[in-house]
Amino acid sequence: MKIHPTAVLSGEIELEEGVEIGPFCHLQGHVKIKKGTVLEGHVTIGCPWGQVEIGESNHFGPGSVIGGPPQDVGYKKEKTRLKIGDHNVIRECVTVSIGTAKGDQMTTLGNNNFLMAYTHVGHDCRLGNHIVMANESQLGGHTVIDDHVVISAVCAFNQFSHIGKFAFIGGSSVVNKDILPFSKALGNHAVCRATNKVGLLRNGFTKEQVDSIHRAIRIILIGCDTIEEGLQRIQKECAPSEHIDYFIQFVRQSKRGIAK
């Protein structure tokens, strides 16, 4: 364990072997960090009221503020949480808030994610695994991002948005509805415009799987008068698979509506 002499640790701080704390870092409140995680200079982790749990082999860039109070005017210093998994890269000046009592009481970030400089993850957000967020993209509270999503730079997401697996969001988009899994979305406000075929093939999907997913996306976007009609067509016309089952479930459970 390496802790720079200028670092300040106050509160209930638990550090496993192999953790590195760089110069002028500040850890406060209840913070637990597992082995192999590195904090560069001027990183702030935790706040007096929150609980932050960070997994193994994460890397935090200078100026990042992780586990700070939620940016919510209704927050009354309740003891809420932030949980971060393993092998994440969180770059310069990224901010990730703890949860709120009126939400899930916890913000979560999975494994193997890459959050570039100046990105923001709001309170009660739930992020999966293998997500890329490019510079200056911002997630409003309660946003849900499923696995393998790529978010381009300078995008904004309204509260309670849900982004499906393997979606690609084009640069400078404003997302105010749910984005279909496996799709490419773009615009202000963002709409699903195509199937993310290149991304799917790069991630090991077969041509047959991509063709079936593409058909399902086209049915929802342009091939039906109602969502229920579209789902019935998908069940009849698309080859059954775990991907199609997930797609149907995503559409059925959408609360904000599909961006199309």
- The percentage of residues in the chain with a pLDDT greater than 90, rounded to a whole number, is 98
How does pLDDT run across 51-84, given as a tens digit for each residue?
Answer: 999 999 999 999 999 999 999 999 999 999 999 9
How does pLDDT run across 232-256, given as a tens digit for each residue?
Answer: 999 999 999 999 999 999 999 999 9
State the SS3 of the chain: CEECCCCEEEEEEEECCCCEECCCCEEEEEEEECCCCEECCCCEECCCCCEEEECCCCEECCCCEEEECCCCCCCCCCCCEEEECCCCEECCCCEEECCCCCCCCEEEECCCCEECCCCEECCCCEECCCCEECCCCEECCCCEECCCCEECCCCEECCCCEECCCCEECCCCEECCEECCCEEEEEECEEEEEECHHHHHHCCCCHHHHHHHHHHHHHHHHCCCCHHHHHHHHHHHCCCCHHHHHHHHHHHHCCCCECC
Segments making up each domain of the chain, as ranges: 2-145, 200-253
In this predicted structure, what is the pLDDT of residue 115? 99
How does pLDDT run across 207-227, given as a tens digit for each residue?
Answer: 999 999 999 999 999 999 899
Domains 2-145 and 200-253 share a fold: no
Asked whether the predicted pLDDT for residue 134 surpasses 90, the reply is yes
| Top CATH class, 2-145 | mainly beta
Query: Mean pLDDT for the chain?
Result: 97
Asked whether the predicted pLDDT for residue 1 surpasses 90, the reply is no
| Residue 203: pLDDT band with limits 50, 70, 90 | very high
Mean pLDDT, residues 13-25: 97
How does pLDDT run across 136-170, given as a tens digit for each residue?
Answer: 999 999 999 999 999 999 999 999 999 999 999 99
In this predicted structure, what is the pLDDT of residue 162? 98
In this predicted structure, what is the pLDDT of residue 230? 97
Which residues are known catalytic residues?
A: 123-124, 141
Q: Which CATH superfamily is domain 200-253 in?
A: Udp N-acetylglucosamine O-acyltransferase, C-terminal domain (1.20.1180.10)
Mean pLDDT, residues 27-31: 98
Mean pLDDT, residues 92-96: 98
In this predicted structure, what is the pLDDT of residue 90? 98
In this predicted structure, what is the pLDDT of residue 61? 98
